[in-house]
Structure 1
Amino acid sequence: MRVRIKGDVLCTLLLVISLSTLLYSLLRPTAKQDIAPVKNTKRLKNPPRTAASKKYYDSKVTGKVKLLSEDHHADVDSEDVKPTVPPVKTQSPFDFQQYLSSKDHRNFSLLINQPNKCTKPSGESFLLIAVKSIVEDFDRRESVRKTWGKEGLVNGVRVRRVFLLGIPKNKTTVSLWESLMQQESHYYKDILLWDFLDTFFNLTLKEIHFLSWAEMFCNDVKFIFKGDADVFVNVENLIHFLQNQNASEDLFVGDIINHAKPIRSKKSKYYIPETMYGLGIYPAYAGGGGFLMSGVTMTKLAEACKEVELFPIDDVFLGMCLQRINLKPVLHEGFKTFGITRPSAAPHLQTFDPCFYKDLMVVHSLKAAEIWLMWNLLHSQQPPCSQKQRIKKPFHWKKKKTKQAINAVTRLQVN
C-alpha cells in the first residue's frame, strides 16, 4: 500500500514538472516579443542628444552614413539597433552613370540670344566680358552691370557684356522665371540663356556653348574676359595690359594651376573616378574665377571643344582644349581666383583694402555689396591710394639679416 502511494506521488511530481517546463518554454518567446518593442519605443521617444549625435544630425556630407559615432554604439546591442536604423543608400555627389549616358548630347537650343551684341552700337569690339551666372542671382548681375562690367567706352576702347545662363534646376523656387528673364533681356540686352539645366557639372556645356556663340556672333572681337559673377575686376588694368598685346596672336592668361591631381575621394565635390580619367595629373588650366584670351584663341578653342570629349569640371575641360591646340596658358600674378591671402609677414595688413586691389586684375569670392564698395572706393574723386600721406604704415617686406650683420650690431652695443 505504501509502495503504491509513493509511486503515485512520484508520477504526479514528474507530470507537474513536465507541464511547468512546457508552459515556461511556450511563454518565454512571447514575453520577449512584448518587452522588446516597448524598449525600442522608449529609445526612439527620447533619443540621447550627445555631442556625437549632434554631429550626425547637423552633418550634410554625402557618403557613408552612420546613426551616431562608432564609439557611442560600442556598448549597444546590435539587435536593438536594427529596428531603429533603416538601411541608407550611399549616394555619390554626382551621378556618373547618367552623365556618361548623356555626355554626347552637347547641342542645346538658345532660348534667349543677343545676335547684335558685337555690332550695335557700331564700332570695334575691343573687350567682350562674359560672366557665368544663374537665374536667381539678379543682384549679382546688377552689381556687375553698375561696376566693373559697364558697357561703353573705357579708356578709349569699346567694352561689351553678356551673362551666360541655363535653366534653373528647381523651377518652382523662381516663380515666373521665364517672364523675368525675357524682361531683363529686353531691358539690358545682355542675357544668353540655353536650354540645359544650370548645374555645377553642366558648366562645361556653358563653356562650349559660349565659345560657339562668340565664334558665330562676335568673331571680330579682339579680346575676351570670361569669369564668375562673384569676382572683382579692375577693368582699367585689364585694358592697359591688353593694349600692349598683339590681338592677332594667341593669348590665354589667368591664375594657372599646374600639376593638379584628380580627386579620388567620393566625398569631394570634384570627385573623378579613374574610369573617367585614368591619368594622374590634369593638363595646365586656369582658375574659373576669371581669365583673358584673344579672339584668335577663342576661335581655335571653339573648334577644339568639338573634338575633345566632355569632362564634368569645366576649368579642366578648357585645359584639355588648350592642350589640344598646343597652347600653354600664361600665369599672371594679378589674377587671384582663389582670393587674397594675407602675408604671414604682415599680420596687420587688411586684405579688404583699396590699396591692395589697385594693382590687381581679378579677385574672386566677393559679395555683391563688397564689389560695389570696392569699385566706388577705387573710382572716387580722391582714391585712398593716390595720396601717400593717407597711408600711415605702408607695408614693406623685411629683408633677412645676415649673421655677420647681427654680430656687428651686437659688438657695437657691447662697446
Structure 2
Amino acid sequence: MRVRIKGDVLCTLLLVIVLCTLLYSLMRSTNNQDTAYYKKSKESKSLVKTGNVKSYLEKPKSMGKTKLLSDDYKSSNEEPKAPTTQPPFDFQLYLRSKDYRNFSLMINQPNKCKRSTTDPFLLIAVKSIVEEFDRRESVRKTWGREGMISGVRVQRVFLLGTPKNKTAVSMWESLMHQESHYYKDILLWDFIDTFFNLTLKEIHFLRWAEEFCANAQFIFKGDADVFVNVENLINYLQNQNASEDLFVGDIINQARPIRSKKSKYYIPETMYGLGLYPPYAGGGGFLMSGITMKKLSQACQEVELFPIDDVFLGMCLQRINLKPVMHVGFKTFGITKPSAAPHMETFNPCFYRDLMVVHSLKPAEIWLMWNLLHGQQLPCSQKQRIKKPFHWKKAKQRVKAVTN
C-alpha cells in the first residue's frame, strides 16, 4: 500500500514539473512576441510622425537567417542600375585641355577625291559614331550614294572619333578597319567622340578637306540622322558659283547662351560672357562652297575652341566676315506641324520632295522615305507642294496646303 502511494506521488510530481516547464516556455515566447510587436509599433508611430510612412511600407520584411539560393543567383546576375542623371560636364577639365587641337588620323582616305578624272562636284561629310553602323548603312544605301548623281560626281565620307567606352564596343578598331577597307569612306581620329568634342571633329574635317579634297566644288556636312534630298541640293548648287563664298542652312539668329545647368547646352558666363551668339547654322546639315571651306579651315585654327560645334562654326564665319544664308528647305528641327492642323501626318513624300534636309529620322524612316521618293510616280498635286509657306482655309473645312 505504501509502495503504491509513493509511486503515485512521484508520477504526480513529474507531471507537475513537465507542465510548469511547458507553461514557462509558452509565456516566454509570448513575451518576446509582445516585445517585438511593441518595438514594431513604436517604429511605425515614429515613422508616421516623421513622414516616412512610404519608406517604412516599402522596407523589405526580414526573413531571419534563412536565405534562398535564388536570392544569391539574382544578386550575382543582376545588372548594375544606370545613374538616373548624367554627371555634370567638367568645364575646368575642358578649359585645361581645349588648347590641344592636333589629333592624329587613325584611318584616312587620302585618295577619296582623286579616284576620278573629274573633280567631285559635291562632297558629303556625315558626322557619325563607331556604334552606329546601321545609320551609316542607311545613308550609304539612300541619299549618301556615291557616283554620278543628276549628271555630277558625288563623294562621301563619315567623320568619327574613338568611342568613350572602348570595352563596351567589342573589337571596335578591327571592325572600323574592315568597314573602311570595304567602303573606303571612314575618317577616324584618335580624340574621344563626345558631344563637347564635336568641335574637334569640325576643325579636323576642315583641315582634312583642305588637304585631301581641295578640288571639291561644294561640301554638304550633316548628321547621320537626317534625310537629304541630294537632287535638290545639286539643282540649287548648279546655279551657284563655286569660286565664290557660300554658306547655306537653317540659320539661327539672336540665340542666347543657356545658363541653366540642367541643359545639355549649358555654358557658364566665365566661358562666354556675351549675351548673344553670332548667327550660326543648325548642325543637322548645311552647304558651303569649296572656297568657303578653305577660308573656314584657316579661321577655325585661329578662333578659340568652343564646346558647341554649331556656335563655334558661327564664330569662324564671323571671323571671315561671312554672313550665312537662310534657306527654307533646311528643316534641321524637323517638319513642324501647323497649328491649324495638329493631327496632320508630316511623314509624307509629297512634303519631302521639295525640301533639302530634314532632321531627326530613324534609319528605317530614311530608307522608307528615299524609296518612296525614288519609286513610282508620287500622287502629289501641285497644291500639295510646299515651295512657299502654308496658308490654311477657314475652320470646319477640309485642311490642305496650298501655294499662291
What range is the shorter-chain TM-score in? 0.7 to 0.9
State the Cα distance separating 1:399 from its structure 2 match: 6.1
* TM-score w.r.t. length of structure 2: 0.76
CA distance in 1, matches of 2:215, 2:83: 51
Equivalent pair of 2:351/2:384 in contact (CA under 8 Å): no
Q: 1:344: how far off?
A: 1.4
Cα displacement (A) at 1:231? 0.1
Match of residue 174, structure 1, among 169, 172, 178: 169
TM-score, normalised via structure 1 length: 0.74
Task: Please tell me whether residue 282 in structure 1 is matched to residue 306 in structure 2.
Answer: no
Q: CA deviation at 1:44?
A: 11
Task: Output one character per residue of 1:142-201: Cα deviation in whole Å (capped at 9) or x when no partner.
Answer: 000000000000010000000000000001111000000000000000000000000000
Residue 397, structure 1, aligned to residue 395, structure 2 = no
Can you list the C-alpha shifts for 1:115-157, whole angstroms capped at 9, x where unaligned? Answer: 0000113312100000000000000000000000000000100
**Is 1:343 the equivalent of 2:343?**
no
Q: Distance in 2 between matches of 1:99 and 1:176?
A: 29
TM-aligned CA deviation for residue 398 of structure 1: 3.4
How far off its partner does 1:346 sit? 2.8
1:150/1:390 CA distance change after superposition, 3 Å: same
Preserved contact between residue 168 and residue 198 of structure 1 (Cα < 8 Å): yes
Q: Could you tell me which residue of structure 1 aligns to residue 268 of structure 2?
A: 273
Name the CA shift for 1:248/1:398 in 2 (closer, same or farther; >3 Å).
Answer: same
User: What SS is found at the alignment partner of 1:375?
Assistant: helix
1:406 corresponds in structure 2 to none
Give matches, 1:10-409, under 5 Å.
39=43, 46-47=55-56, 60-61=84-85, 92=88, 94-385=89-380, 397-398=391-392
Give the 3-state SS of the residue equivalent to 1:381 in structure 2: coil
Over the aligned positions, Cα root-mean-square deviation in angstroms equals: 2.7
* Counterpart residue identity of residue 289, structure 1: G
The answer to which of 339-348 and 259-268 deviates more is: 339-348
CA deviation string 1:190-243 (max 9, x = no partner): 000000000000000000000000000000110000000000000000000000
For 1:214, what is the secondary structure of its paired residue? Answer: helix
Q: Which residue of 1 aligns with 2:71?
A: none
Name 2:19's counterpart in structure 1. none
Q: C-alpha separation between the residues in 1 aligned to 2:56 and 2:279?
A: 51
How far apart, in 2, do the equivalents of 1:283 and 1:47 lie?
55
Aligned counterparts of 2:234 and 2:185: Cα–Cα separation in 1: 21
399 and 353 in structure 1: CA distance in 2 versus 1, 3 angstrom threshold: closer
CA distance in 2, matches of 1:373, 1:298: 32
* Equivalent position SS for 2:302: coil
CA distance in 2, matches of 1:312, 1:364: 21
Code of the residue aligned with 1:60 in structure 2: it is T
Identity %: 75
Q: CA deviation at 1:396?
A: 6.8
Unaligned runs of 5+ in 1: 1-34, 50-56, 63-90, 402-415
